[in-house]
Structure formats: structure tokens, C-alpha cells
Amino acid sequence: MQQDNANRQSDDMHTRIADALSKISICTRSVAQYGRSHPIIDEMVGNAHQAVAQLLVIQPTLAIAAGESYLALESFPIEDGSGTLTAFAETLHARKVTELRLISGITPAELIDFAEILSLSPENLAIRGGISSEMTRRQISHIQTFSGVLPTESREAKDPADIYEESIMLVEQAMKAVESGLQIPVPEIRAVVAESLHSLIKDDSALLALTGIRSYDHYLSEHSVNVCILSMVLSKDLGLDAASTLELGISALLHDVGKVFVNPDIVRKPGKLTEEEWQQIRRHPAEGARALAGLPDLPALASTIALEHHVRSDGSGYPAVSMTHRPHLLSRLVAIVDTYDALTTERPYRERWTAQQAIAWMLYEAPGQYDRQLMARFAARARLYPLGSLVRLKKGDYAVVVAGSNAHPKQPTVRIITSADLPKDAPIEIDLFTNTDPAFEIDSIAQPVEVLLPYADRLVAV
């Protein structure tokens, strides 16, 4: 029954999307034929806007793949009952659009501008800098177009190692392009990040294993690819949709492009940096954000993450920001992954840490620097216990984690909060690293309701 309901909902969504896109297609043809000021256009735009607005109430962001003669939602072709979708797909394809994204908040003015842009010939659009440039010029923000390999085309079985190597190559190309003032290969980057995401959705073990590979000569590019992969894994764990995760992956892959403006000898220096050298390092987020800002087909998020990935939740880090400024949620996510990958990489000035040591340091030694909720989710993958975690001990008592250290990440200090055989007049804290009684070892993460169950009679009115 549940499966039948799910299928009906999916069919209904496809029907709604087909209707909305058909009406946009009709608007496009009509604007091309009559011009935007013809009286008939207002009615057609109104119909299209109503269909799109109702659709985006159900799903605030829709990413539609555009093939040569078809449109698809999540790799499933949208049925073309009226014949208008094929023509619309051909229109998009001729203008090098492989993905159309509709975002809640679309206005009738944006729809008519978009229809007018599509009514321009591909040659005319190319003279104007391409469809993305023209849409930016007209300040269309709730309709986005992207070029590159289709998600449906990139899903052919590809070895994760090949995806990883291609990602490294593209990061290095992007770095050289930024350094030389040339164009970043955005379509190719979008395609390889899409391939990484599809691989992670299918099975994240292979790509995650590759993030453990380290090479001194390719540190910066490998670090960027690792941050991209790990950010998308954490995004999946948090339940972000595929479109948002893809934008995050692209942005994370490019988060460190500002490093190309730092002297390589400073990046590789084995000893302590001078204050002047630190100033160069601190400038790389702003330089990266400036290089990525406003680039066609690149998510606006990329510039934001490049700027904020070293800004800490407690106001420390760099560049210096107002105490009232709170970094973007996904900047905070990338900040965690960026630090983690750096700590687990061997550098000239220190040995690499284990995954658990790195996460424990972030949890216990620098708890104010990172988003607590995101850190808790990240720590769950390493089976660690954030400060404030409720745990059940092997002897049956419940305790809360109050301290810890990266030196012994799985053995924090806990404060017992329920016990049958310990005094109740003073809190008992136990350092599990120095503890020798196996009964006090952590058995599992607990839920608050477990602690309250013995007091149910007193808490629940009869």
C-alpha cells in the first residue's frame, strides 16, 4: 500500500512538472512569434507562473536534466503527452543547457525574460556571452541553467579510482586557470562531481577509501578532492537533497583555489611561519572568493564557502568578521571537513593523526570553533561521543560526557547521573582512560527517554 502511494505521488509529480514545462515552452514559442508585449503573452505567462508556483510549493527546488530530445527528473524521462517537451528540450540543447533548475520564488517577470532569452538564436546568445551570462545580466535568480555532461549520461559505471584521478586533474586545471586569469572548466567539474555523488549514493566505501591516499606533491589538489567527497558524505547523512549536495560538492572542490596566490614555499614550509607568511595564508580565503564570484554556471555558494571555510563558530579564524556574522551552514560543514582532512594528512611539520584523534581534537580541544550539531553528526561516523552526549555504561548506569582528549578519543570523562549504588549527594565524574573497572566502560549511546523511564510514574499524570 505504501509503495502504491509512493508511486502515485511520483506519477503526480511528473504530471505536474510536464504541465508546467509545457506551459513554459508555449510561452517561449509565443514570445518568439509575437514578441513579449503582445496581449496574448500576459495570459500565457500567468498560466505558466501559476503551474510553476504550485509545483514549487511541493518541491522548492527542481533540477530538470535536458537531453537532446527529452527532459528527465532524477534520471527518469518526463512523459511528453503534448509533444511540447521534445521541442523545449531541443531548444535548451541547442543553447548548450543540460540542466534547468527552477527555484521557489519565480516571478512572472523572470518567466517572460527567460522565454525571451530562449527565443534568441544560439548564435545571438553566444555573442552575448551565453545563456547564463544573459540571465545574470537580466537578474534572473530563480531560474538557473547549467552546461556540461548530463547526470543521466554520467551514470555509466565508472571506476571510483578513475573519478578520483579525474577530480584531481580538474582541480589542478582550475588552480592554474585562476592563477592565470583564465576560465575555470566548470562544466567538466560539475560532471565529475555528479559522478562522485552518484558513486557515493550507490556505495560510499570505495571513494571514502581513496580519501586516505596521500601524496606530498599533490597535497593541495588531493585535499580539495577529499574535502569535496567528505562534504557530500556528511551532506547525505544530514538528509540534504541531491541538487544541494551537488552544489556543495562543486563548491567544496574549489574551496582552496585562493591558495594559488600564496607562495608555494610558504604552503610547504616545514617550520613555523613568520607573521608576514601568516598574513599571506590568511588572505587566501578572500582571494579565492574574489576569483570565484560571479563565474557563469558556478554556484554562488562556491564564493561563499571559499571566503568562510576558515571562519570559526566562536568568531576566531580568518578572515576577521563581525561577531554577529554567522557563516553559511554549508561553510560550517566544509570548515569541519577541511580541518579533519588537514589533521589526518602528514605534513612536513607534524605526523598525521588518526581519524578518531582528529575528530576528538575538534570535539574536545576546540569545541567552540565548530558547529556543535554538525560535529556531533560527523563524530557519529567515528563512533565518538560529543560533549553532552548521554551514554549508557556497562553496569547499567547513565552518564553524560563532560570532557575528553584526542590522546584517548574513545575514553572520555563522564559524569554519572543515575546510579543504584553510588551516592546521590555529589556528582561522580570518572575518567574512562584511567578507569580500571570494566563495569564503567561505555556500552552505548543512550536516548533521554531511557533515563526518564524509571521515573515515568512521577512524570506522567495518571
| Rounded average pLDDT per 10-residue block, the chain, 462 residues | 44 78 89 85 90 84 82 73 82 88 90 91 82 87 76 55 88 91 87 85 74 67 93 89 88 96 86 90 96 88 96 90 85 96 80 88 90 89 82 89 88 84 73 91 79 62 50
Task: Convert the pLDDT of each residue in 184-240 to its tens digit.
Answer: 988 889 888 988 888 887 777 777 777 766 665 577 899 999 999 999 999 988 888
pLDDT for the residue numbered 422: 65
What phi and psi, each to the nearest 5 degrees, are found at residue 414? -125, 155
Residue 64: strand pairing partners: 73, 100
Spatial separation of the C-alpha atoms in residues 151 and 458, rounded to whole Å: 56
Give the residue carrying C-alpha cell 557515493. 200
Rounded distance, CA 376 to CA 384, Å?
9
Which pLDDT value is given to residue 281? 94
Ranges of CATH 1.10.3210.10 domains, the chain: 166-352
DSSP assignment letter at 37: T
Q: What's residue 15's pLDDT?
A: 81
Domain boundaries 166-352, corresponding CATH code:
1.10.3210.10
* pTM for the model: 0.63
**Cβ distance 349 to 406 under 8 Å?**
no
> Alpha-carbon distance 205 to 185, whole Å?
28
Q: What pLDDT is attached to residue 447?
A: 74
Give the pLDDT of residue 74.
63
Q: What is the pLDDT of residue 393?
A: 92
pLDDT at position 420 is: 65
Taking alpha carbons only, the member of 380, 432, 443 closest to residue 403 is 432
Residue 339 CB partners (closer than 8 Å, separation 6+): 358, 362, 370
In this structure, what are the phi and psi dihedrals at residue 318, rounded to the nearest 5 degrees? Answer: -150, 155
Q: Which pLDDT value is given to residue 444?
A: 84
The cell for 291 is 576569483
The number of beta carbons lying within 10 Å of the beta carbon of residue 330 is 26
Q: Is 447 left (phi over 0), alpha (psi -120 to 50) or beta?
A: beta
Backbone angles phi, psi at 418, to 5 degrees: -140, 130
**pLDDT of the residue at 457:** 62
Task: State residue 157's pLDDT score.
Answer: 53
